[in-house]
Amino acid sequence: MQNKKAGGNLEDTRKLLERAKKPSRDALELHPLYRGKLEVTPKCTIRGAEDFAVWYTPGVAAPCRDIEKNPERVFEHTNKGNFVAVISDGTRVLGLGDIGPRAALPVMEGKAILFKYLGGVDAFPICLDTKDPEEIIRVCKILEPSFGGINLEDIENPKCFYILQKLRREMKIPVWHDDQQGTATIILAGLINALKLVGKEKGNVQIALIGAGAANIAVSRLLISFGFSPGNMVMVDSRGILHHNREDLKSAKTREKWHMCEISNRENKTGGIAEALSGVDICISLSRPGPGVIKKEWVESMKEDAIVFACANPVPEIWPWEAEEAGAQVVATGRSDFPNQVNNSLGFPGIFRGALDIGAKTITDEMCIAAAEELARYAEEKGLRRDRILPTMDDWEAFPRVAVAVAMKAMEQGVARKKMSREQIFEQASSTIKRARAETRVLMDSGIIKNWFNARSDGSQG
């Protein structure tokens, strides 16, 4: 685990903060050089102009007529089954808030290259110049003929709940909100292994959820579906603990929070973060950047062998070494430069790979749980440690395994268009992901993608 003394003085903290700023400085320099991160390339053979008679007119009329007669054959004749639309209105972008659809585009492009490199999924950023949930819903629905899935991204609370719920009911392709389902899946995966390390059972532990936005609401739902007791959960928003007497939450706008008031907090605790953490086993914080949002003495008040997930970016709610000094046995953050990064990118590429390969019509909570269990299993096989409860993005083999787990659950639940064996799913997912990674490497090795990291103005190698 992180050395407890490594950040124990102001100089070390200053160095950590400087290191945290470096990716932003690099991004401002490198984004203009590439003019974005995404482009479209052919996947078919083009020997010369004569081949366009097959790929375009007149030959293309034959598959068009076949699809007209048999609509499901669109998945055979086109790439629809591997296209995902990354849809955002730019109202809640990362830690930046409501920055608008144009400023959100670099994030959505980044999401698309994660889809491609980690999952072999062809994803397209679509940033919408509207904040109206009904318009967003309509856009998603009228795009359905072209896409095999929809990834909702960085849409503000509470409308994100309404948009996701309605689209999941009314569309026949998977619709996913990564800020909800993705975060919840990775949190669950990490928690499964953290509990193994401290020797505690899901049915008995008490959990404090710091932050009551879309992410932690979704986390609570998935944990309950997995078997954690809602009565043993305490959620905290900006005004304090959610409890049965929070009259300010009895409105349609805050229905998700009010539902938590009704089903959680069996002891009817009141107060703030300090009171929520007192005597609990687990802290899952998805709130605002720290440090200092969670204090050491509050972690000290938790039960023995406490688990702390402090996931705010770019700075966690409490530094991990402070949480350890306060008695936490397992600590996770959202940062890649600390152990146990809780990273949505571990989930959505493999989850969509499995859903798309099997032609899933939706992504259910049970499919998310299957993905979480497989991620946890993969990390356990590699060797569980306090500083390694999850795979990393470099563990590429984890992604086809997640794809298999998701696809098998989809078939079991009757939401898959295809029937495939476990071996077939694994082979198809693995080959697709390997192809995407190899394609990027070939383009880099050939110089078609220039390695600007080796020729930057500061002379560094990146």
- Residues involved in catalysis: 56, 111
DSSP 2-30: --TTTT-SHHHHHHHHHHHHHHHHHHHHH
CA 190/CA 177 separation, integer angstroms: 19
Q: Do residues 107 and 93 make contact, with C-beta atoms less than 8 angstroms apart?
A: yes
CA 303/CA 328 separation, integer angstroms: 9
Q: Do residues 227 and 207 make contact, with C-beta atoms less than 8 angstroms apart?
A: no
CA 62/CA 54 separation, integer angstroms: 10
How long a stretch of residues is the chain? 462
Cis peptide before 23 (omega within 30 of 0): no
Q: Is 276 helix (H, G, I), strand (E, B) or coil?
A: helix
Where would I find the beta strands (DSSP E) of 118-269?
122-127, 149-152, 175-177, 207-210, 233-237, 240-241
- Of 448, 399, 430, 351, residue with least CA distance to 41: 448
**Longest Cα separation, the chain:** 74
Neighbours of 457 (CB within 10 A): 7
CA 30/CA 16 separation, integer angstroms: 22
Helix (H) or strand (E) holding 85: strand 83-88
Q: What is the dihedral of CA 383, 283, 289, 295, to 10 degrees?
A: -110
CA 35/CA 426 separation, integer angstroms: 35
Q: Is 235 helix (H, G, I), strand (E, B) or coil?
A: strand
